[in-house]
Amino acid sequence: MIVVSELNARRGAFSLKNINLEVQKGSTMVIIGPNGCGKTTLLECIAGLQKVDSGNIIIDGVDVTHLPPEKRGVGYVPADYALFPNMTAWKNIWIAFKKSKGLELNDLYKIIRLLQINDLLNKRVECLSSGQKQRVAIARALALKPSTLLLDEPCSALDPPTKEAFRRGVSDLLKEIFHEFDIPVLYVTHDLLEATAVGDKIALMNHGRIEQVGPINEVFESPRSKFVAEFLGFNVLNGRVISSFTTGILIDIGGVVLNAECQGGLSEDVRDVFVVIKPQDVVLLPTKEGLGLKWRNCHCNILSGVARRIYLEGSTAKAEVEVGDVVLKATLSLEYFDEFDIKPGREVFVYIRASKVQVIPRTKTGEG
């Protein structure tokens, strides 16, 4: 198990502030955030490659905060894999194996078999493809018999189709590795799809801080701040509470009034809020009468708007709809837009369940 508590570190003008993390054996924590938010610096702090100003890093009950990297027993795979040049794949792995404590040669062959690199062992690293280099780099890190595995953007060097195939491969691979080695894995990425495919838990970072950490479903279901909601691609709108009821609240979002079921309850003095709506919870229809039975008895917002833009993002289609002064993003299949004849410039009705409207109180700093 790895525990990071109250960690502060500086690298030039950038600093990590008050990082708290806990990863259990056999689980994967995905650290995600925009470029320059401190993901790699955090991994380097855990690996011992970056000086820590204050706080603790505890691996398997041992405080390693001030130990040099060679005494931590942490397997680290950097973004560029950093396989040693002018050596074969086998020599790269052997260099780590020589220093491992308690790993038998049979275990090493098991790692090689698991990562399917048997045929690559005699190849020089310059002759390997990005995907092959990645697997050799993971094998090298595992050959140390590490107590923790740190993977820094392992898919960043792959092109999108390979990335997609490898993403699926990595998730299966990591699960097998957990089974075999029972170690905590920290996986850094800035790709949401990759994060959901690989991780059990997710930590979102911004400006050197962790904004939210928790199981992936929980973070996707209830983002705790404006940054998290925006990073996940949700609609985030500035709102003002008009009135509160026992069943929910009414919020004004730029001339449009929305019903929200506020399950956790909102304190009475909160007026300024952020309204968060997932694009997949925004349903568009050309008429007011087209919804099925399951919508009839629900507490639902029906808003009139104009479709402004419809575009493809990967395999899904997205639409931007102008409702009053605000623009809402909706995610639907492209066939849906064709079937209901929703085109840019056309009037549409926007359906949003009140239970799907989340409300985050706005703090004095302007952040949720």
| Binding footprint of another protein on the chain (CB under 8 A) | 47-49, 68-70, 72-76, 78, 80, 82, 84-87, 95-96, 99-100, 126, 140-141, 144
φ, ψ dihedrals at 294, nearest 5°: -65, -15
Nearer residue to another protein within complex by CB, 100 or 196: 100
Distance CA 245, CA 59 (A): 49
- Kind and range of the H or E element at 107? helix 105-114
Q: DSSP class of residue 88?
A: B
Distance CA 267, CA 127 (A): 62
Least Å from the CB of residue 46 to another protein: 10
- Give the tokens for residue 46: 């855990």
φ, ψ dihedrals at 139, nearest 5°: -60, -40
Nearer residue to another protein within complex by CB, 96 or 256: 96
Nearer residue to another protein within complex by CB, 124 or 175: 124
Distance CA 115, CA 59 (A): 25
Nearer residue to another protein within complex by CB, 9 or 310: 9
- Kind and range of the H or E element at 135? helix 130-142
Least Å from the CB of residue 70 to another protein: 5
Nearer residue to another protein within complex by CB, 148 or 212: 148
φ, ψ dihedrals at 105, nearest 5°: -60, -35
Nearer residue to another protein within complex by CB, 1 or 87: 87
Helix, strand or coil for residue 299? Answer: coil
Distance CA 239, CA 5 (A): 35
